[in-house]
Structure 1
Amino acid sequence: MTRKRIRILYTIPNFNTAGSGKSVYDLVKNLDRTLFEPEVCCFHGRGAFFKEVEALGVKIHIFPFTAAYRPPYRFLSKILKIRAFFKSHDFDIIHSWHWSSDISEPLAAKLAGIHYVYTKKAMGWKSRFWKLRTKLSTKVIAVNEDMMTDYFSNMLDKVVNFPLAIDVEHYQPKVASETIRRQLNLKPDDFVIISVANLVEVKGIEVLLEAVNSLNNPNLKVLIVGDDSGVYAQKLRTKYLNKHQFQFIGKQLDVRPYLALSDLFVIPTKNEGRREGIPNAPLEAMAMERIVLGSNITGIRDVLEPFPECMFQAGDIIGLAEKLEIFRNLPDIERLNLKQAMRNRVVDTFSIKDFLKNHQSLYLKLLKKDNEV
């Protein structure tokens, strides 16, 4: 008799951006298919990265797996519809990558008698529902150490700490495209700084732009890659309209050609709001042997822990400007050694291999406990 594979449903609101979507993609693509049968559920099929997930050939459900709390008298009926959806597909585990403190999804899973796991990817604990979401869950995956102490100190039996990961075979050192270099009007003696982020205020992009502006060096060029359609992005564009050093590239499905052009990657996230859990972008840059500078805050600190000299105080324009000058003038041999050390850091600590091993082991343990009961 053939053993039934473990059916896992990955829930995520959308694939408009590739942040959490990349983690879901990596899990779905690389899970041991002799043991696991993954499926995906999201609210809609829009977004360029949705096509990437669709190409994996797994079943994708378009279904509202969360419910609005109001009006209260309709909440239970909505929950029961979600429960019925979960039950009808005979899932063993639901693994949520929803960023919010929603309790409707874990409640529906609990009523369905299905293991519910959620990944806590971003910093933030203000909503009173986070603790209830955690109590309704079978397990929680925290992506950095600070979450363990800041949020889950009284619920450590519920929580495991798995860092996020990237595919270091996909993100490798790459020769810069001369075609793109010419398109962006970058000169051979330009020092190119890049930041990859969806442009919202917490990302602190103005800190980087002001730091570069203060140095008054026309050979410093900045590429900002990411969704620049929002109000914050438009304010930045307007303010720096006549600064030809700064280019807003927009959202790119493949950031590797732009990372390859850069001499330095900067992630200047502020220490407020929904801060970083473990940001993917600097990991991708490091895997491509780009030197990374970042704010000394949770998440970024986990990534740059062996490189304290590469961190600056969040929001400190002068401090960042000083760092930019130091790393622009770094001797070639030191630059090369640091680039290689940064890639090795990603390979050793944030590899897909360990990411998969951790998740597969967790899933198997959950089902093993069921069989022992």
Structure 2
Amino acid sequence: MSRPLRILFTIPNFKTAGSQYVLLALIARLNKHNFNVIVGIENHWDEAKKVIPVSDLVELPKLFKVSKIRFLKQYIKVLKKNQIDLVHSWDYKSNYLEPLACRLSGVKYLYTKKNNSWSRSWQLKSLFSHFIAYDQPEMKKRFFSNKHYANKIKLIPHGVDLLKFFPLEKISHSTFNMCYVGTINENKNQLFILKAMLNLPETIHLNVFGKADVNYKKELDVFIENNDIKDRVHFYGYISQSQLPEIFRIQDVLVLSSLEEGFPVCLLEAMACGLPVLSSDSGGGAKFMLNTMVDDCLFSIYETDDFNHKILNLTHNPNLYKSLRSKGLDLVHKKFSIEREVNSYVELYTNL
């Protein structure tokens, strides 16, 4: 009987990397008789030990601390020592030396493309890779339309763990609560929402959950103070993923106003909890996942009127609100469960 396929998952860390939750859900669902998993990280070892057994962790070389030749040698050593058959990278960086080390070692290399960055390094990384998974169709048009990629790419959208994300009974509240969950920075564009609030009723509030860029937070604070909306905007700091279903009980809509976005899983998590969502049309991911709801849920970031119109529709039209809630739940269950994502990767691993 052949031994299980030994997979090395690579990720920068389990502290700030957004892919950590998808990766942990994937590891938990892989058949242990068919797959043997090792996880390679670059930093924050103590955080990794909280979620991955130390025996299944390896430390990866850091490119910025060693030469390219030394990086290749150290990476190849990790592959050989751990008898790796396949590397699956969840790293957001364009490090083309990883797939090159795998080519030199006779190890298959797959990476999941999650962001909209592109450069010569990304081209080299893609060239050396044996296979590439991308999470929304716009990426194929942007990056992988060349016929060279035709037989080495596959659309695999991220999924949500429906055992963790599901509707809870709502908590009664007097205001209409918009919420945002994630990092607070210039790209996430929270200032857009604050500007929109100036032309919305005072009963509409914004609750913000996440770690903030210090300078951008100062800019938001100045705007809030100057426009006297401090009683309507509330910052709660970082919260864990496990807290989200409870947090969503007292929210009415999740809003995402990013300038650039890959595949915003936060929209799926909210919809899985029965919360309608509004998102900017940036990057293609939101448009793909919202599907038939784009007319009601997607807004332009070039002016606030469109956003305000959609918010007011939700506050004034209970039937629309109920419909979007139902459609969102149905969409996640049918197309974006973590099981669908895992099954797609299992098929890919087996074929590689």
Task: Tell me the TM-score normalised to structure 2 length.
Answer: 0.92
For 1:55-70, list aligned pairs within 5 A. 59-64=56-61, 66-68=62-64
Q: State the match for 2:19 in structure 1.
A: 20
Task: String of CA shifts for 1:279-324, please: whole Å, max 9, x gaps.
Answer: 1111100000101111123111112121022111124222211211
Q: Select which of 204, 209, 224 maps to 2:208.
A: 224
In 2, Cα distance between equivalents of 1:191 and 1:156: 47
- Cα drift, residue 44 of structure 1: 2.0
SS of alignment partner, residue 198 of structure 2: helix
1:334 is aligned to 2:320: yes
- Cα drift, residue 175 of structure 1: 2.5
Structure 2 counterpart of 1:108, one-letter code:
A
Percent sequence identity over aligned pairs: 26
Q: Select which of 299, 308, 323 maps to 2:310.
A: 323
8 Å CA contact retained: 1:228, 1:248: no
Q: Select which of 265, 268, 288 maps to 2:254.
A: 265
**Do the aligned partners of residues 79 and 350 (structure 1) sit closer, same or farther apart at CA in structure 2, a change above 3 Å counting?**
same
In 1, Cα distance between equivalents of 2:231 and 2:55: 45
Q: State the match for 1:118 in structure 2.
A: 111
Q: State the match for 2:39 in structure 1.
A: 40
In 2, Cα distance between equivalents of 1:177 and 1:43: 42
In 2, Cα distance between equivalents of 1:195 and 1:239: 18
Structure 1 counterpart of 2:288, one-letter code:
D
In 2, Cα distance between equivalents of 1:29 and 1:58: 16
In 2, Cα distance between equivalents of 1:103 and 1:167: 31
- Cα drift, residue 195 of structure 1: 1.0
Q: State the match for 2:51 in structure 1.
A: 53
Q: Select which of 114, 129, 133 maps to 2:125.
A: 133
Q: Select which of 81, 87, 90 maps to 1:94.
A: 87
Structure 2 counterpart of 1:146, one-letter code:
E
1:158 is aligned to 2:152: yes
Q: State the match for 2:272 in structure 1.
A: 287
**Do the aligned partners of residues 46 and 290 (structure 1) sit closer, same or farther apart at CA in structure 2, a change above 3 Å counting?**
farther
Structure 2 counterpart of 1:91, one-letter code:
I
Task: String of CA shifts for 1:124-165, please: whole Å, max 9, x gaps.
Answer: 21x211111001101000111011121101122221110011
1:211 is aligned to 2:196: yes
Q: State the match for 1:353 in structure 2.
A: 339
For 1:307-318, list aligned pairs within 5 A. 307-308=293-294, 309-318=296-305
In 1, Cα distance between equivalents of 2:274 and 2:17: 21
In 1, Cα distance between equivalents of 2:320 and 2:297: 13
- Cα drift, residue 52 of structure 1: 5.5
- Cα drift, residue 229 of structure 1: 4.3
**Do the aligned partners of residues 193 and 58 (structure 1) sit closer, same or farther apart at CA in structure 2, a change above 3 Å counting?**
farther
In 1, Cα distance between equivalents of 2:166 and 2:90: 26
8 Å CA contact retained: 1:38, 1:58: no
**Do the aligned partners of residues 230 and 87 (structure 1) sit closer, same or farther apart at CA in structure 2, a change above 3 Å counting?**
farther
In 2, Cα distance between equivalents of 1:364 and 1:177: 46
Aligned residues: 343
In 1, Cα distance between equivalents of 2:271 and 2:45: 30
Structure 2 counterpart of 1:161, one-letter code:
L
8 Å CA contact retained: 1:171, 1:288: yes
Q: Select which of 245, 249, 261 maps to 2:236.
A: 249
In 2, Cα distance between equivalents of 1:92 and 1:107: 15
Structure 1 counterpart of 2:99, one-letter code:
P
In 2, Cα distance between equivalents of 1:134 and 1:11: 16
- Cα drift, residue 58 of structure 1: 6.6
Task: String of CA shifts for 1:238-264, please: whole Å, max 9, x gaps.
Answer: 432451110111111132222221111
**Do the aligned partners of residues 343 and 18 (structure 1) sit closer, same or farther apart at CA in structure 2, a change above 3 Å counting?**
farther
Structure 2: unaligned runs, 5 residues or longer? none
Structure 2 counterpart of 1:149, one-letter code:
K
In 1, Cα distance between equivalents of 2:346 and 2:321: 38
In 2, Cα distance between equivalents of 1:18 and 1:105: 18
Q: What is the CA RMSD across the aligned residues, in angstroms?
A: 2.0
1:343 is aligned to 2:329: yes
Q: State the match for 1:175 in structure 2.
A: 169
SS of alignment partner, residue 147 of structure 1: helix
Q: State the match for 2:74 in structure 1.
A: 81
Q: State the match for 1:296 in structure 2.
A: 281
Task: String of CA shifts for 1:198-229, please: whole Å, max 9, x gaps.
Answer: 112111111112112222x2211111111114
Structure 1 counterpart of 2:279, one-letter code:
G
Q: State the match for 1:109 in structure 2.
A: 102
Structure 1: unaligned runs, 5 residues or longer? 179-187, 367-373
**Do the aligned partners of residues 195 and 46 (structure 1) sit closer, same or farther apart at CA in structure 2, a change above 3 Å counting?**
farther
In 1, Cα distance between equivalents of 2:328 and 2:117: 28
- Cα drift, residue 177 of structure 1: 5.8
In 1, Cα distance between equivalents of 2:106 and 2:217: 44
